[in-house]
Amino acid sequence: MSVCDVLPPEELRTLFLFEKLPDEHLNWLCAHGKVKAFPANTTLYHEGDPGECFFVLLSGEVTMNRMVRGGELEVHRSSMRGAYVGAALALDGSGNDGATPAVHAYGNTARTHVDSTFFVLPAAELAQVFTEWFPMAAHLVAGMFLGARRNGSAVGQRERMVALGTLTAGLTHELGNPAAAAERAAANLRIRLGELRSARAELARAGATAEALAALDRLQAEVLA
């Protein structure tokens, strides 16, 4: 990583995020942000780490990745100048005392796909001025993030319940099949035994010897055993 010159306000205004800001806001951003260059395949931050920086892409390409079932999945890739990654959650401006911005964790892992340059801002300071400059927007952003967290929690709980139901149904099916097979086998055995008794009676009426009937009884006993 290398740190370049401070980004001048007129260049910062060319980015869609900042094009409508007044000069005083641009001057603050330029005074607090740094232009940093990163080589290809550099991890800017890891998912779950404290969100300390807000990155705005000036050149190059960045990927965002999420951990899903123990593996990393690429969820977004951008080479658009002005695309941003990092501690966007800090912009909700919420804190324990209602005034101090909360420290949120990064919601993904960001990496450079090629050599890239970013305008990097400190998240906590940016969140503080964001709530001062745009109080209504800050409230809207906070509501949006809170709603997304609640929706995500509800969806996650629903998915877990569906997975549990599927597992239960599968176990019931697996346990039910052997029982049904045993029941069918027992019914067939009762039918065959009835047929065997009828056949023995027919043999006796036809004049079969006692020795032959005794041999048949022994064979029946062996089969049942």
Q: Is 126 exposed, middle or buried (0-12, 13-18, 19+ CB in 10 A)?
A: buried
171 pLDDT exceeds 70?
no
Which DSSP string do the residues of 8-61 spell out, in sequence order? PHHHHTTSTTTTT--HHHHHHHHHH-EEEEE-TT-EEE-TTSB--EEEEEEES-
Beta bridge partners, 53, equal 122
Residues shown for the chain: 225
| Residue of 64 and 200 predicted with greater confidence | 64
Q: Which amino acid would we find at residue 137? A: A
Q: How far apart are CA 222 and CA 216, in angstroms?
A: 10
C-alpha dist (Å) from residue 76 to 22, 36, 151 = 31, 21, 21
| Lowest-confidence region among 1-10, 86-95, 190-199, 213-222 | 86-95
Q: How far apart are CA 16 and CA 4, in angstroms?
A: 21
| Residue of 181 and 103 predicted with greater confidence | 181
In 3-state terms the chain splits into helix, strand, coil percentages (rounded to 5) of 50, 20, 25
Predicted confidence at residue 103, as pLDDT, reads: 58
3 state SS for 159-173 = HHHHHHHHHHHHHHH
Q: Do residues 116 and 84 lie in contact, with contact meaning Cβ atoms separated by under 8 Å? A: no
Which pTM value belongs to this model?
0.62
Instruction: List pLDDT tens digits, range 83-123.
Output: 999 887 666 555 444 444 455 789 899 999 999 999 999 98
Query: Residue range 178-206: average pLDDT?
Result: 75
H or E segment to which residue 84 belongs? strand 84-86
- Domain-wise residue ranges, the chain: 2-133
2-133 homologous superfamily: Jelly Rolls (2.60.120.10)
Q: How far apart are CA 68 and CA 160, in angstroms?
A: 15
Q: Do residues 53 and 43 lie in contact, with contact meaning Cβ atoms separated by under 8 Å? A: no
Instruction: List pLDDT tens digits, range 53-93.
Output: 999 999 999 999 998 888 889 999 999 999 999 887 666 55
